């Protein structure tokens, strides 16, 4: 199981136990809370992140690495990973870890492309790499945005207008 999924489930269970249950004195409501905790523990045992969006992000990262390899021809650049998506990867934890490693590599490449060495070696190619990396990283963010629900900021913050709270 991926660490972030497990942590999210643990956080929800703990938040309900520590913050919601003590303030809930209605038997029916308490029954609902315990049932939600039970269901969350079940999800922890049986579920994980959908791999589809993670795999799509990794594909975009691999496209970026391939483009760097092509555009930086002849330039000295940080080592690039070989295409990482092989048919056998199905485990969400492995895919998530690959995505995170890919992000770090993208950061390294972006810092390199906008640094003095790359600019001196080939200003035009360095600029092209920078723009390509920024575009593909934004495409990757769009994949994540597609799986993010609308934020309930007002409700999360407590909704009421505080008074005399300096």
Partner 1 sequence: MQKAVASLDRPPHSTGAPDVVDDAAVRAGLTVHLGRTFRRAVAIEGFSRKSSGFSWITYSFVARPVSGPTRKLVLRVGPPNGLFAPYSVMPQVLALQSLTGTRVPVPGLVSFDQGGAEIGFPFFVCEHVEGEVPAPWAGSELDEGHRRDIATQFIAILAELHKLDWREQSLASLHGDGREREEVRAISVWRRSLARPTARYYPLLDWGGRWLAENCPQPPRRTIVHGDYRIGNFLERERKITAILDWELTHLGDPHEDLAWALMPTFNARSRKLYGVVEREEVIELYQRASGISISARSLAFYEAFALYQAAAIQMCAVRAFEVDRFNDMRMAVMASQMPSIVRAFERALEAVA
Task: Provide the binding-site residues for partner 1, judged by CB under 8 A.
Answer: 3-4, 7-8, 10-12, 14-15, 18-19, 100, 103-104, 106-107, 110-111, 114, 133-134, 137-138, 141-142, 144-145, 148-149, 151, 153-154, 156-166
Whole-number minimum distance, CB 99 to partner 1, in Å? 9
* 48/103 with CB nearer partner 1: 103
Rounded Cα–Cα distance for residues 140 and 54 (Å): 9
The CA distance from 97 to 110, in Å, is 20
**Quick one: which of 74, 133, 127 has its CA closest to 105?**
133
C-alpha distances in Å from residue 22, one per residue of 25, 26, 120, 132: 8, 11, 63, 52
Smallest distance, partner 1 to C-beta of residue 25, A? 20
Calpha distance 75→64 (Å, rounded): 16
Q: Nearer to partner 1 by C-beta: 87 or 97?
A: 97
Nearer to partner 1, 45 or 157 (CB): 157
Our CB check for partner 1 shows the closer of 46 and 161 to be: 161
Q: Which is nearer to partner 1, 39 or 86 (CB)?
A: 39
Hey, what long-range contacts does 15-20 have (CB within 8 A, 24 or more apart)? 16/40
User: Least Å distance between CB 15 and partner 1?
Assistant: 5
Token pair recorded at residue 160? 């009421």
Report, in Å, the least distance between residue 43 CB and partner 1. Answer: 15
Could you tell me the smallest distance in angstroms from the CB atom of residue 14 to partner 1? 4
Q: Which DSSP string do the residues of 100-112 spell out, in sequence order?
A: HHHHHHHHHHHHH
């Amino acid at each position: 199981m991926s660490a972030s999924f497990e942590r999210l489930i643990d956080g929800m269970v703990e938040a309900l136990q520590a913050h919601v249950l003590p303030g809930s004195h209605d038997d029916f409501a308490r029954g609902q809370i315990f049932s939600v905790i039970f269901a969350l523990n079940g999800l922890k045992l049986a579920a994980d992140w959908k791999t589809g969006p993670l795999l799509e992000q990794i594909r975009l990262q691999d496209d970026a690495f391939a483009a760097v390899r092509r555009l930086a021809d002849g330039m000295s650049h940080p080592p690039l990973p070989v295409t990482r998506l092989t048919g056998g990867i199905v485990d969400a934890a492995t895919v998530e870890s690959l995505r995170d490693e890919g992000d770090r590599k993208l950061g390294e490449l972006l810092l390199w492309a906008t640094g003095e060495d790359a600019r001196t070696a080939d200003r035009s190619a360095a600029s092209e790499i920078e723009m390509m990396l920024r575009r593909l990283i934004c495409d990757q963010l769009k994949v994540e945005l597609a799986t993010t629900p609308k934020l309930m900021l007002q409700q999360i913050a407590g909704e009421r207008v505080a008074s005399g709270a300096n």
